[in-house]
Amino acid sequence: MTEIEGNSEKMDKRKSRSQLLVFTGGAALLAVAVNLAIVAISNRKKKKELPGFELRVNLSASEILNLADRIIAKSKKVHDAVASVPPNKVTYSNVISPLADLEAEQFPQVQSCVFPKLISTSDDVRKASAEAERRIDAHVQMCSKREDVYRVVKAFSTRGEQTSAEQKCFIQCLIRDFERNGLNLTSPKREELLRLRVQIEELSLRYIQNLNDDGTFIPLSEAELDGLPKEFFESLDKNENGQFKVTMRSHHTAAILEHCKVGTTRRMVAMTYGKRCGEVNLSILENLVHLRHKFARLQGYSNYADYAVHYRMARSSAKVFEFLESISDSLTDVAAKELASLKDLKKQEEGESPFGIEDLLYYVKKVEDQEFNLDFVTLKQYFPVSLVLSGIFKIMQDLFGLRFEEVIDAEVWHDDVKLYSVFDLNSGELIGYFFLDLYTREGKYIHTCVVALQNSALLSNGTRQIPVALLISQLQKDVDGHAGLMRFTEVVNLFHEFGHVVQHICNHASFTRISGLRVDSDFVEIPAQILENWCYESVSLKLLSGFHQDITVPIKDEVCESLKKWRHSFSALKLKQEVLYCLFDQIIHCAENVDIIELFKHLHSKVMLGLPMLEGSNPASCFPCSAIGYEAACYSRVWSEVFAADIFVSKFRGDLLNQHIGLQFRNKVLVPGGAKEPIDVLSDFLGREPSIQAFIDSKAEYSL
């Protein structure tokens, strides 16, 4: 029995002898506050040391650049040493171990240089951080193309020396990354591969730049924008005739498609949005797809989709097609019912005007307003930031057997930032740290996310590095500068990102390259998506909520139920629309010489239950993910959501705070990281292979 399994068994026995207490949000705040207050008092007596913490914070601009240069010099020295090993003398200790140790030691150093660009209040530091990232990236790219190092690593892999499963996984990652840069090809083919990569990058950036530069707008009167809120009009410029200039930016078009009562306006805006950059970007997308297929064939794949998916959880484009078509077909009956109700509603409001794709958001919003009676402005008053945080802490601690302690007087980059130590509740072992940087400020990264600052790793000298994470958010303070109230969507986002923090901290992989959040791209979102469900269940919502003027008053049960129904409203129809784009993305990257517009027109009618594509729409204009970022991998978000639903329904839904199940999830799913195949990880936890059925059933359960 491993140490982890032994600790789990002890905790399971201890839990069986105690009664699980469920607190309201106010009680959760009190429980966590008392715990943190005790820790704070003890830490003030003696400043807490940070064992295993290698990250450096508050570096100056010059220190960042100097550290980057030292990182590069050390890396070059190690790679040169590995490259000098004769092929007949390669061993794990003189080839693989130096590279693994280098990655482990340098990861927190690299992040010390790079993460200031996200959070620093100094413009000079942010610029230095960006420059350091550029230098380090260029060096990493150069190292990944070193044929001399590749030959030595390859020689070791064929030698047959006994290695562990984790070691084999790391070696395979090394070889894969070298070979994806063409080092297993002849020199002419390798040069062609690099030339194609440059062309693909240039075209991708041009595509996005065209969309960013697009200045198209539609002049509309206030009557034509009936239904839009006052704040929307205040955000618009006017032309010389006093009409509002509605740009084809997503925040403008989404607002109109969701709120505008005038059907002709919705249609005009949707059509114009769908024609952005027209023939120019269509030509670029066609060229991109052609070049990607050539790139993939050079590496032995029949098409780009198979190349892109080969090392992901799905493994093949055929598997992706099977998955997407199964989801789409299984949702057809529910989606048809949803669409029929929307068509009836439009007929009541607009007469015989046919229902089009441009009407979807507006009538979904209308039904939601009528059916669920959710006032999100009022709801916000039940989510004070401090209360939400205390609830998240309590849920994560209780569910996964963790203990969070604030590190008092920690070195941070802003007064708002806090650092926490994370301990195993049973053994008391320190397993990681995380920073919380929650509030908006000038110069800070504008999205909510988690950044891995230090990864789990076991060095060759027996030293274990522990994980460090950073959670960045953009919450607003109130007018007095105190922690304010959170919108419900912010609560969900924060809970999701805390899922990534726990995922990173609980990982125990031995190699930086396969630890923390550096796992299979089809798998990395699954844990956080599972945990989002806690935001829609009454038991956990009451831990997260409390009226801001009296935190002992939690959110009402009927509101919790309405939120759950709202979450699933028209979800089958919405998901089929997403599947449409995923299928389009897969097909263009599986076959050559595809008529992109005709393909999209065919798929639109087939998947969207007969709803036609908007006349004149250009799929290259409305779906940039196929051009850059998620090419041949747009399915991944749906993939994660489906398997997250299976795990939640099968294991957690009946007992949200069951620590026995939580510890199983922690030990079987989070601890291994990328050291095991994701499908094996999930199958081991579920006791069977993952299924789409729970996901499909959840859509049917809450259908209208």
- Strand intervals (E) in 76-124: none
Query: pLDDT band at 42, cuts 50/70/90?
Result: very low
Please state the rounded mean pLDDT for residues 542-547: 95
Of the residues 131, 160, 182, which one is the last residue of a structural domain? 182
Q: Is the pLDDT of residue 375 over 50?
A: yes
Shared domain for 242 and 299, answered yes or no, is: no
Compute the average pLDDT of residues 393-409: 96
Predicted local confidence at residue 479, as pLDDT: 74
Q: What percent of the chain is modeled with pLDDT above 70?
A: 93
- The answer to whether residue 231 is catalytic is no
Same domain? 457 vs 603: no
Statement to judge: residues 687 and 635 lie in one domain = yes
Kindly state the average pLDDT of the residues 162-167. Answer: 95
pLDDT for 4: 32
Mean pLDDT of the 57-80 span: 98
Domain boundary among 568, 592, 608: 568
Instruction: For residue 422, give the nearest of 50, 31, 56 by alpha carbon.
Output: 50
Instruction: Identify whether 465 is part of a domain.
Output: yes
Q: pLDDT tens digits, residue range 436-490?
A: 999 999 999 999 999 999 999 999 999 999 999 999 999 998 877 677 899 999 9
- Region 24-32: what's the mean pLDDT? 40
What is the reported pLDDT for 195? 98
Q: Does residue 396 lie in a domain region?
A: yes
What pLDDT score was predicted for residue 685? 98
What is the radius of gyration, based on Cα positions, of the chain? Answer: 27
* Inside any domain, residue 409: yes
Q: How many residues does the chain have?
A: 704
CATH number of residue 522's parent domain: 3.40.390.10
Res 626: pLDDT? 81
Asked if 620 and 578 touch (Cβ cutoff 8 Å), the reply is no
H helix intervals, 214-359: 230-234, 250-259, 263-273, 278-298, 304-309, 317-350
Looking at the structure, tell me whether residues 292 and 270 fall in a common domain.
no
Same domain, 490 and 538: yes
Helical spans, DSSP H, in 401-487: none
- Residue 123 and residue 229 in one domain: no
What is the structure's pLDDT at 704? 56
> Could you give the C-alpha distances from 248 to 240, 453, 629, in angstroms and in order?
19, 37, 21
- Same-domain status, 509 and 579: no
Do 685 and 626 reside in the same domain of the chain?
A: yes
User: 188 burial class (0-12, 13-18, 19+ CB within 10 angstroms)?
Assistant: exposed
Residue 347 and residue 418 in one domain: no
Q: Is 577 helix (H, G, I), strand (E, B) or coil?
A: helix
Indicate whether 418 and 508 sit together in one domain. yes
- The pLDDT value given to residue 702: 75
Q: Residues 559, 682: one domain?
A: no
Across the range 305-334, mean pLDDT stands at 97
Examine residue 27 and state whether it is found in any structural domain, yes or no.
no
Tokens of 625: 């993910």
Of 379 and 2, the structure prediction assigns the larger pLDDT to 379
Q: Which of 103, 133, 338, 497 is catalytic?
A: 497
List Cβ neighbours of 407 (8 Å cut-off, separation of 6 or more): 43, 48, 50, 418, 419, 420, 421, 433
Q: Could you list the beta-strand ranges (E) of 355-416.
A: 402-406
The answer to whether residues 416 and 559 belong to one domain is yes
pTM score, whole prediction: 0.90
DSSP string, 559-584: HHHHHHHHHHTTHHHHHHHHHHHHHH
What's the whole-number mean pLDDT along residues 617-642? 88
d(CA 685, CA 55): 33
The per-residue pLDDT of the chain, averaged, comes to: 91
**Position 496 in a domain:** yes
CATH of the domain at 84: 1.20.1050.40
Chain segment 556-579, per-residue pLDDT in tens: 999 999 999 999 999 999 999 999
pLDDT at 700: 85
Please tell me which residue, 510 or 38, carries the higher pLDDT value.
510
Residue 493 has a pLDDT of 97
- Of 549, 568, 587, the position where a domain reaches its end is 568
In a domain, 16, yes or no: no
Q: What is the mean pLDDT of residues 412-418?
A: 96
Using one digit for the tens of pLDDT, what is the confidence trace for 197-228?
Answer: 999 999 999 999 999 999 999 999 999 999 99
Lowest mean pLDDT segment, chosen from 31-45, 137-151, 324-338: 31-45
How many H-runs (helices) and E-runs (strands) does the chain carry? 29, 10
Question: How many structural domains does the chain have?
Answer: 4
Tokens of 333: 């009956």
Give the per-residue pLDDT at 32.
44
Q: Which domain holds residue 136?
A: 61-182
Q: Which residues of 488-503 are buried (b: 16+ CB within 10 A; e: fewer)?
A: bebbbbbbbbbbbbbb
**Which comes out higher in pLDDT, residue 382 or 22?**
382
